[in-house]
Amino acid sequence: MRETSKPVVKKVAIIGGGIGGLATAIALRKQGIDAHVYEKARDLRPVGAGLSLNPNGLKALEAIDPSIVEQLKQAGSILKVIQLQKNSGDIIQKTKITMMEKYGQPLLSIRWSKLQEILAAALPPEIIHLNHRCVSFTQNYNSVTVEFEGKKTVEVDLVVGADGIKSAIRQKLIGDGEPRYLGRMSWRGLLKYSHELLNPNQVTTMIATPKTILLMDVGDGYIFWGATMLCVDDYGSGSAADVKSRLLKEFGECASPVPEIIEATDAEIIVERPILDREPLSSWSKGRVTLLGDAAHPMSPSIGQGASTAFEDGYELSEYLAKAPNLEAALALYDGSRIERTQMIQARSGLAGRRAYEHDSEKYLQETLRSNDEFEDWLYKYDPLAIASRTQ
Ligand SMILES: Cc1cc2nc3c(=O)[nH]c(=O)nc-3n(C[C@H](O)[C@H](O)[C@H](O)COP(=O)(O)OP(=O)(O)OC[C@H]3O[C@@H](n4cnc5c(N)ncnc54)[C@H](O)[C@@H]3O)c2cc1C
C-alpha cells in the first residue's frame, strides 16, 4: 500500500477508558501515534465484575502486544469445561472446551478490574486523563476540537469514540437516540468463594427458563456470577439491599451453591443492568471521527463477544492508520472490514439471547454446545496477519 510506514495521523483522542479504549490506545501508540485516553470517571473503577475472552479477541490482543495476553493468562482462568445444569442441580451436559486445540487460543475468564489494570499498566499514566467527560466536538478539514465538561479543549487529528453503549460521540456523529431494551434484566457479582460444587477452570450455566444463572471461575479464587431474567420492563430495584433481596427472591430456589453465593455477595457491588443493544450502522466514520467497541456495535452479551470484538476494532484501526495512504482511506478500510463482521456477530448474539430464554432453551443450549458450526470457525479463526496483509 505505502512504501513508508508513517501513520496518517499524529495525535488521537480516544474518548472512553473502558477495555476497548485502553486496548486501542496501546495499539495506536505501538504504531508511533500519540494517542491519549479521556475518561469521564474519576478513577478506573472495576466494571462488570468478570468476563470471558474468546480466541478471536485474544489473537487481536496478541497482535497488539503478546505480553498482555501472557499476563491475562497468568491472572485469569483458562476454561476447560462448560456445564449445563437444571435449577434443581441435575447436570444436563458437561462439555470439554477445546478452543485452544482448535483455534490456537483458549477461552479465558478474568476479573474485569484485573483486565483493566493490565491494559492500563501498558500505557504511560500521563496519557490517561481521568475526570474528563467529553461533551462535544467540532471538526474541520484539518483537525477536530474536543470539548470536555469544565476542562480545556484539545485539538487532535482524529477522535475515536470508545465511550460505550450510551456514547456521546455516536450521538453527535449519528444521532440515533437511546439503545434498545431486549426484554431481559441482568445482575452481576464477584467474590472470593470456594464450594465443593465449584470446580476450577469451569463455567456452569443453570437454566430455570425464563431465567439463567452463570457461575464462572475467573482465577485467583474468585467466582463471577451473572443472573439474567426475562422482564417486560427495565425498571431498577432501588437500593443495593432491595436489589439483593429481589435476586434472592428470583434465584433463591436454584440449587446450591447459587443462593449461598448471592447471600455471600456484598450488596454494594452487585450490578443491576438492562440488556441493551442498537441497530447496526452502515457507517462508523465521518471526517476525522470514528467509533469503536460498544459505541459502534453494542450487542447482547449472549456469546461473550463485546470485549473481543472491541480488541479486533482497536488492532485493525491501528493497522489501517499506520499503513493506509491517507486518513480517508484508513477509515474506509476500517469501516469496510469491521462493519460487516460485527453485524454478523451482533445478529448471532441477538439470536442466542432470544433463544436462551424461550420454552425450549435447554435443547437449544445443548445443541449449541454439541455442534461446532461454521459460524464459530469463522469467528474464532480471526487472523490478524491477514488483516495486516490487506494493507501491504
Ligand atoms: C451482563 C453483561 C455481561 C457481559 N459479559 C461479557 C463477556 O463475558 N465477555 C465480553 O467480551 N463482553 C461481555 N460483555 C460486554 C462488554 O461489557 C462490552 O462489550 C465491553 O465493555 C465494551 O467495551 P468498550 O470499551 O467499548 O465500552 P465500555 O466498557 O462501556 O467503556 C466505555 C467507557 O467510556 C466512558 N465514557 C462514557 N461516556 C463518556 C464520555 N462522554 N466522556 C468520557 N468517557 C466516557 C465510560 O465511563 C467507560 O469507562 C457483557 C456485557 C453485559 C451487559
pLDDT of 356: 78
* Cβ of 307 less than 6 Å from ligand 1: yes
Q: Which residues contact 379 (CB under 8 A, 6 or more apart)?
A: 54, 56, 305, 345
Q: Given CATH 3.30.9.30, say whether it is the number of domain 180-276.
A: yes
Our mutation pick for probing the ligand 1 site, out of 47, 51, 234, counting the most ligand atoms within 8 A of Cβ, is: 51
Q: Which atom of ligand 1 is nearest to the CA of 132?
A: 43
- Is domain 11-76+105-179+279-390 given the CATH code 3.30.930.10 in the classification? no
Give yes or no for residue 39 CB within 6 A of ligand 1.
yes
Atom of ligand 1 nearest to the CA of 109: 8
CA distance readout (Å), 41 to 17, 38, 67, 156, 330: 9, 9, 27, 21, 30
Identical fold, 11-76+105-179+279-390 and 180-276? no
- Say how far apart CA 94 and CA 303 lie, in whole Å: 18
**Which atom number of ligand 1 is nearest to the Cα of residue 48?**
17
Digitized pLDDT (tens) for each residue of the chain, 392 residues in all? 554 568 999 999 999 999 999 999 999 999 999 999 999 999 987 665 899 999 999 999 999 999 999 999 999 999 999 999 999 999 999 999 999 999 999 999 999 999 999 999 999 999 999 999 999 999 999 999 999 999 999 999 999 999 999 999 999 999 999 999 999 999 999 999 999 989 999 999 999 888 999 999 999 999 999 999 999 988 788 899 999 999 999 999 999 999 999 999 999 999 999 999 999 999 999 999 999 999 999 999 989 999 999 999 999 999 999 999 999 999 999 999 999 999 999 999 988 888 777 777 777 777 776 666 789 999 999 999 888 787 76
User: How far is 33 from 21, CA to CA, in rounded Å?
Assistant: 14
Structure confidence at residue 390 (pLDDT): 75
Q: Is it true that the peptide bond before 179 is cis, omega within 30 degrees of 0? A: no
**What are the residue boundaries of the structural domains of the chain, listed by start?**
11-76+105-179+279-390, 180-276
Please name every residue paired with 145 in a beta bridge, in sequence order, or none if there are none: 138, 155
Mutate to test the pocket of ligand 1, among 38, 39, 128 (most ligand atoms within 8 A of CB): 39
Q: Judge if the beta carbon of residue 40 lies within 6 A of ligand 1.
A: yes
